[in-house]
C-alpha cells in the first residue's frame, strides 16, 4: 500500500514539473517565446520573459488589444532573421519578421537580470510634427496631442 502512495505522489510531482515551461537560456529563444506569447495575446507568458519596464509596456498593449476584435489581433509571426549582439548584460537583437500582413524589420533589447535574459520595453521614438520625442509617458503624450488639437 505504501508503494502505491509513493508511486502516485511521484507521478503527480513529475506531471506537474512537465507542465511548467522552462525559461529559455539563449537570448534568441527568449525572444521567440516572447513573440509567440504576444502573437497569441498571452501577455502573462510574454510578461514572464520581460523586464519590469517590459511588463508595464505589455500591460498598456493588453489594454489596447482588449478593445479590438480578438481574431484581428492574433498573429503568426516568423523570424526570417535574428541576430543578437552586445557585451555584458545587454544585447540588441536585430530581426526581420513576417506575419500574415507584412514583412518588417524590428529591434529588441534584452537585459540579463538575475541570470536570465529578459525582453525590455521597446525604445521607440515618437515623431510629432518633425520633432523626435523619446519615451514620453502616454498621459503626457495625450495631453500634448489634446493641446495641439485645441490650438488648431
* Fold of domain 22-121: Nuclear Transport Factor 2; Chain: A, (3.10.450)
Q: Is the pTM of this model over 0.75?
A: no
pLDDT by 10s per residue, the chain, length 152: 444 443 434 343 444 444 445 778 999 999 999 999 999 999 999 999 999 999 999 999 899 888 877 666 788 899 999 999 999 999 999 999 999 999 999 999 999 999 999 999 997 654 445 555 555 456 555 666 776 777 76
Q: Where do the domains of the chain lie?
A: 22-121, 124-152
Burial of 30 (0-12, 13-18, 19+ CB in 10 A): buried
Grid coordinates of 79: 523570424
Angle at 80 (CA atoms; ends 106, 120), nearest 5 degrees: 35
Alpha helices of the chain — where are they, by DSSP H?
2-19, 27-39, 43-48, 52-66, 70-73, 138-151
Please tell me the predicted confidence (pLDDT) of residue 22.
72
Are 11 and 19 a contacting pair, CB within 8 Å?
Answer: no
**Alpha-carbon torsion (64, 70, 72, 77), positive or negative:** positive
Asked whether 105 and 94 are in contact (CB, 8 A), the reply is yes
- For the chain, what is the total number of helices (H) and then of strands (E)? 6, 6
pLDDT score for 112: 96
Burial environment of residue 110 by CB neighbours within 10 A (0 to 12, 13 to 18, 19 or more): buried
28's CB contacts (< 8 A; 6+ apart) are: 82, 84, 93
Amino acid at each position: 500500500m505504501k508503494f502505491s502512495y509513493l508511486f502516485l505522489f511521484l507521478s503527480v510531482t513529475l506531471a506537474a514539473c512537465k507542465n511548467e515551461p522552462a525559461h529559455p537560456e539563449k537570448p534568441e529563444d527568449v525572444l521567440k517565446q516572447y513573440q509567440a506569447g504576444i502573437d497569441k495575446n498571452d501577455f502573462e507568458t510574454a510578461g514572464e520573459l520581460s523586464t519590469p519596464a517590459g511588463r508595464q509596456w505589455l500591460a498598456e498593449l493588453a489594454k489596447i488589444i482588449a478593445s479590438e476584435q480578438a481574431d484581428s489581433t492574433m498573429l503568426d509571426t516568423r523570424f526570417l532573421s535574428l541576430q543578437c549582439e552586445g557585451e555584458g548584460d545587454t544585447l540588441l537583437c536585430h530581426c526581420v519578421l513576417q506575419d500574415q500582413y507584412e514583412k518588417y524589420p524590428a529591434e529588441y533589447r534584452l537585459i540579463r537580470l538575475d541570470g536570465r535574459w529578459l525582453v525590455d520595453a521597446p525604445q521607440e521614438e515618437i515623431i510629432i510634427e518633425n520633432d523626435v520625442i523619446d519615451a514620453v509617458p502616454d498621459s503626457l503624450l495625450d495631453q500634448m496631442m489634446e493641446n495641439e488639437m485645441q490650438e488648431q
